[in-house]
Amino acid sequence: MDPPAERGARRPLRSGDIFVEALLFFAAITSILVMVLIFYFLTYESVLAFRDVGILDMILGQKWHPAGEIFGMAPIIVGSILITFIALFINILVGLPLAIYLSELAGPWSRELLKPAIELLAGVPSIVYGFLGVLVLVVYLERSFDMLTGRSILAGAVLLGIMFIPALTTICEDALRAVPKEFKEGSLALGATHWQTVRRVTLPAASSGIIAAVILNVGRIIGETMAALLVVGNVARLPSPVFDAFDQGAIFTSVIAGEMGEVAHGSMHYHALFAVGFVLLVIVTVLNISADLVRAAIQKKFGGY
């Protein structure tokens, strides 16, 4: 008879508790396990490509030409940067004023209407955005800018920028709302107008949350797949000039999703696509962690909310 069983026999209630706690503990460490596994498998599958092509050649190589076994990610990285900047611009241009409206100006009636609307917008599946992008946005851009094809980096950027407005607005609104009333009342009491108060008091006080939201949104934009896949054109070549957003392009996710379906399992192309996924994972993880750190750092420095 071993000691634990004896203890269990004496206190039947506790043994059940310990069993439950062990189960819950397992559930809690699952997410660590999954994160480690994801990193392990992406490294494992991509290491062959990195070793074969060379890490620097792979990341800085100017040509992505799978049929010729040439795997350079520069076109993909340039496309991703372009798309991120334009999408983020649209995103902030609409998302931040919307957050200000919701937290400062909206009456109860329009809040009741807008809040669920924003939450519903956030729930629209990305493939539906992609579908509308193909049939509405791409056709529209093609016609207005007289482009050879409307599938372009610009189309992807517009679509992604619109898609992630709700994500930005929700976090920014929470940050703006968390600013204590006393701050605003103090500013108003000093004779500042409402807008001066928002600009000089509320926005700076909420800056940690807003900056974290923007960084998180960069991660979302880079990581979004279906909508981008369908409208960016998926041609991995360097645009010329480099900032030509009207050209077709490719981003990390569109290359993976567009090409993974037809590669032979275990070929160099297969491993190269995992390498693209690995770079994407590293970028997004760094962004996520830095969003957290930025929030903490600004809060420490300015006592933000």
For the bound state, the minimum distance from the C-beta of residue 305 to another protein, rounded and expressed in Å, comes to 17
Pick the stretch among 34-42, 49-57, 81-89, 176-184 that binds another protein (CB under 8 A): 34-42
For residues 238 and 205, give the distance between their C-alpha atoms in angstroms, rounded to a whole number.
41
For the bound state, the minimum distance from the C-beta of residue 90 to another protein, rounded and expressed in Å, comes to 11
Cross-strand pairs, 233: 249
Per-residue three-class SS string for 88-113: HHHHHHHHHHHHHHHHHHCCHHHHHH
Q: Interface residues for another protein in 199-218 (CB under 8 A)?
A: 216
Pick the stretch among 2-10, 35-43, 73-81, 202-210 that binds another protein (CB under 8 A): 35-43
Q: Interface residues for another protein in 38-77 (CB under 8 A)?
A: 38, 41-42, 44-45
Cross-strand pairs, 70: 65
For the bound state, the minimum distance from the C-beta of residue 216 to another protein, rounded and expressed in Å, comes to 7
DSSP state of 261: G
Residue pair 202/184 in contact (Cβ under 8 Å)? The answer is yes
> Residue 177 interacts with another protein (CB under 8 A)?
no
For residues 94 and 90, give the distance between their C-alpha atoms in angstroms, rounded to a whole number.
6
Residue pair 172/214 in contact (Cβ under 8 Å)? The answer is no
Which of 5, 37, 60, 139 is the binder for another protein (CB under 8 A)? 37
Closer residue to another protein, CB minimum distance, 55 or 93: 93
Closer residue to another protein, CB minimum distance, 58 or 100: 100
Tokens of 229: 């896949």
- 145: how many CB neighbours lie within 10 A of its CB? 11
Which of 73, 280, 295, 304 is the binder for another protein (CB under 8 A)? 280
Which of 1, 24, 56, 189 is the binder for another protein (CB under 8 A)? 24
For residues 33 and 155, give the distance between their C-alpha atoms in angstroms, rounded to a whole number.
38
> Residue 259 interacts with another protein (CB under 8 A)?
no
Which of 162, 168, 171, 210 is the binder for another protein (CB under 8 A)? 162
> Residue 261 interacts with another protein (CB under 8 A)?
yes
Which of 53, 76, 102, 167 is the binder for another protein (CB under 8 A)? 102
For the bound state, the minimum distance from the C-beta of residue 126 to another protein, rounded and expressed in Å, comes to 7
Pick the stretch among 67-75, 180-188, 204-212, 272-280 that binds another protein (CB under 8 A): 272-280
For the bound state, the minimum distance from the C-beta of residue 143 to another protein, rounded and expressed in Å, comes to 6
Residue pair 193/164 in contact (Cβ under 8 Å)? The answer is no
> Residue 293 interacts with another protein (CB under 8 A)?
no
Q: Interface residues for another protein in 110-129 (CB under 8 A)?
A: 110, 113-114, 116-121, 123-128
Q: Which long-range contacts (CB under 8 A, 24 or more apart) does 79-82 make?
A: 79/153, 79/232, 79/236, 79/239, 79/249, 79/250, 79/251, 80/222, 80/251, 80/252, 82/153, 82/157, 82/239, 82/243, 82/245, 82/249
